[in-house]
Amino acid sequence: MSKYHVTTTINGDEVDFTCYADQTLLEVLREDLNMTGTKNGCGSGDCGACTVIVNGRPVNACLVLGAELDGANIETIEGMSTGTELHPLQQKFLDHAALQCGICTPGFLNMAKALLEKNPEPTETEVRYALAGNLCRCTGYDKIVRAVLDAAAEMRESTS
């Protein structure tokens, strides 16, 4: 089986990779590019741990094929902070203790980031539905939802 050559932008950098036709973005990131911040919880699009942002849309990296991504702009957890400065969502997750084991955290952060880009002032219910594709077994979601709402408020303040 021959491999496809794919050119993408990942977290602002041009990244070339080759992959088999059946290889998912998740496999490419984790196995070939050694970007293990994107987590593998199920491989079937049910847990959201591998949520990344492709061309502005949050997707499960396990449901996207690497070969479809020529020219795509991909954002992963490794690119969320700016230099040494954490993103407000990352800050608020720490302030609100919105993680315990942390395996679901990169996926939640990406999903929340995508939500706030579309809807800077979500209600609690909107946050809960936006995050409904991401499983967390530790926290019961309470502190995650609070962290996202607080980050949204802070981000609105800093842009107004």
Partner 1 sequence: MNEVKTTAKTNFKWVGKRTRRPDGPDKVTGRARYGDDMVMSGMLYGKTLRSPHAHAKILSIDTSKAEALKGVKAVVTHKDIPDHPLLEPPYGPMIADLHDISRNVMAREKVLYDGHAVAAVAATSERIAKAAIKLIEVEYEILPHVLDPLAAAQPGAPILHEHQFTHGVDPKPEAPSNVFRVVSAERGDLEKGFADADIIVEREFRSEPVHQGYIEPQALIATASEDGAVEIWTTTQGHFVIRGLCARLMNMDMSSIRVTASEIGGGFGGKNNVYAEPVAIRLSQKTSRPVRMVMTRSEVFRGTGPASGTYSRIRMGAMRDGTIVAAEAEIYNQAGAFKGSPVGRSVDSFFSSYSIANAKATAYDVCVNRPKVAAYRAPGAPMATMAAELTINELAEKLDIDPVDLRMKNAVQDGGQSLNGAKYGRIGLTEVLETVKNHPHYSAPLAPNQGRGFALGYWMHGGGLSSVVANLLDDGTVAIATGNPDIGGSRSSMRVMAAEELGVDLELIKPIVADTGSMGYSHLTAGSRTTFATGMAVINSVREIIEKLRALAAKKWEIPVDDVAWEAGQAVTQRDGFEALTLKQLAGMATKMGGAIAGHSEINAGGAGAAFSAQIVDVEVDPETGFVSLKRYTVIQDAGRAISPDYVEGQMQGGAVQGIGWALNEEYIYDDKGCLQNLGFLDYRMPVASDVPMIDTVIVEVPNPNHPYGVRGVGEPPLVPAPGAVANAVENAIGKKMGSLPLSPPKILGTLELCR
- Which spans of this chain sit near partner 1 (rule: CB under 8 A)? 20, 30-31, 34-44, 46-47, 49, 76-78, 80-81, 86, 90, 93-97, 99-106, 109, 124-125, 127-129, 131-146
Collapse the DSSP code of 98 into the 3-class scheme (helix H, G, I; strand E, B; otherwise coil) and give the result. coil
**CB contact set of 13 (below 8 Å; sequence gap of 6+):** none
Nearer to partner 1, 128 or 154 (CB): 128
Collapse the DSSP code of 107 into the 3-class scheme (helix H, G, I; strand E, B; otherwise coil) and give the result. helix
Q: At which residue do the structure tokens 């303040």 appear?
A: 157
DSSP letter at 135 equals: -
CA–chain centroid gap for 58, Å, is: 7
Shortest Cβ distance from residue 54 to partner 1 (Å)? 17
Nearer to partner 1, 139 or 160 (CB): 139
φ and ψ at residue 52, rounded to 5 degrees: -130, 170
For residue 117, what are the CA distances in angstroms to 36, 104, 114, 150?
24, 20, 5, 15
Shortest Cβ distance from residue 120 to partner 1 (Å)? 19
C-alpha–C-alpha distance, residues 64 and 66, integer Å: 6
Shortest Cβ distance from residue 43 to partner 1 (Å)? 6
Nearer to partner 1, 43 or 72 (CB): 43
Shortest Cβ distance from residue 160 to partner 1 (Å)? 25
Shortest Cβ distance from residue 7 to partner 1 (Å)? 23
Nearer to partner 1, 42 or 71 (CB): 42
Nearer to partner 1, 68 or 132 (CB): 132
